[in-house]
Amino acid sequence: MAAEVLLYIGEPLARYRFPPGHPFSIDRQRAFWDEAQRQNLDQRVQVLAPRIATRDELLRFHTGRYVESVADRSIAGGGYLDYGDTPAFPGMFEAACSVAGTALDALERVMAGATLRTFQPVGGLHHARADAAAGFCVFNDLAIVIRSLRDTHGVRRIAYVDIDVHHGDGVFYPFERDPELIFADIHEDGRYLYPGTGHADETGAGAAAGTKLNLPLLPGAGDREFFDAWEQVLDHLRRHRPEFILLQCGADSLRGDPLAHLRLTPAAHAHAARTLCRFAEESCGGRLMVFGGGGYDLRNLAAGWCAVLREMVE
Ligand SMILES: [Zn+2]
């Protein structure tokens, strides 16, 4: 039997934070870990240290020119990498490399059979593009994992599930025409929230038509609307039979997040995690990697991420 859930915590990941005044300046890892310890979840996981991605690993998804520009801008910091969401700060390159490298460490351990489930609270940077930062995301750890699954491990049919309040555009568009990337994303309607994409009629292009499921919820939607949408996610996954599953469980979809307007409770995220763990066991031998994603209210993200982790260890 495989070992318990692997959980990644450490200072290099904590350094993935933006300067004071930014919504992502708060110590999210600390808030989560304090709550996990309070709930004794720390006793039920194997804690591992982050690792730093190499430049070659970043190039599995990102362009060389972009990687070098982040490295340059990271020396002095200052200004923005994009049009005003993602500030450059000193040490940004190393911090972003630790998010991507940690995701690859988790992937390698799953593929080696050391575990079936991993949880990386600081991770799931689903807006970063191959050649640009976006929406607080510098390097796209999720897309790097997907490319690595394909190119290094020969795993083709991968499901990407996203319950962060924002649409996972940085995963959706690069794989929009890829029929073996099974995509399911519940988010606040793009007419009301960044990044403005993820409409219900975006179902994949060309040979990939029908492999993508976007389920926008109106501002104010709560658990009832989520549970209905989640049933569609499970149906979609059952139809497409993935071999491997990634979950981005951003806690910014919980009620009270300062940046968004959905009103889910941690019970919604627990339900998603519980049923997805069960589905993973039926569908792909249990292989499931989970990433914390967004969440800008410390109590919410501690509660949301711990609700997910609890389901993963039980
Ligand atoms: Zn988000």
Ligand 1 center from residue 190 Cα (angstroms) = 12
Output the six-digit token pair for 62.
């990102």
CA angle at 115 for the pair 122 and 272, rounded to the nearest 5°: 60
Output the six-digit token pair for 113.
């059979």
Ligand 1 center from residue 169 Cα (angstroms) = 11
- Which of 297, 214, 310, 197 has its CA nearest to residue 254? 297
- Which of 97, 90, 87 has its CA nearest to residue 59? 97
> Which pLDDT score is estimated for 83?
86
Task: Examine the pLDDT at 157 and tell me if it is beyond 90.
Answer: yes
pLDDT digit string, tens, across residues 264-298: 999 999 999 999 999 999 999 999 999 999 999 99
Extended strands (E) in the chain: 6-8, 46-48, 117-120, 158-162, 181-188, 212-217, 244-248, 288-291
Ligand 1 center from residue 253 Cα (angstroms) = 7
Ligand 1 center from residue 166 Cα (angstroms) = 4
Ligand 1 center from residue 113 Cα (angstroms) = 31
- Which of 199, 221, 230, 223 has its CA nearest to residue 212? 199
> Which pLDDT score is estimated for 230?
98
Which H helix or E strand runs over 100? Answer: helix 92-111
Residues 4-8 have a mean pLDDT of 96
Q: Are 233 and 271 in contact (CB under 8 A)?
A: no
Ligand 1 center from residue 306 Cα (angstroms) = 17
The whole-angstrom separation of Cα 96 and Cα 141 is: 9
The whole-angstrom separation of Cα 108 and Cα 197 is: 32
**How confident is residue 3, by pLDDT bands cut at 50, 70 and 90?**
low
Q: Are 168 and 194 in contact (CB under 8 A)?
A: no
Residues with CB under 5 A from ligand 1 (ion): 164, 166, 250, 252, 294
Q: Classify residue 24 by its DSSP letter.
A: G
Ligand 1 center from residue 194 Cα (angstroms) = 9
pLDDT digit string, tens, across residues 54-81: 999 999 999 999 999 999 999 999 999 9
Ligand 1 center from residue 209 Cα (angstroms) = 25
pLDDT digit string, tens, across residues 11-24: 999 999 999 999 99
Ligand 1 center from residue 280 Cα (angstroms) = 24
Q: What is the pTM of this model?
A: 0.97
Catalytic residues, which ones?
A: 127
Burial class (CB in 10 A: 0-12, 13-18, 19+), 63: middle
Sequence length of the chain is: 314
The whole-angstrom separation of Cα 298 and Cα 159 is: 29
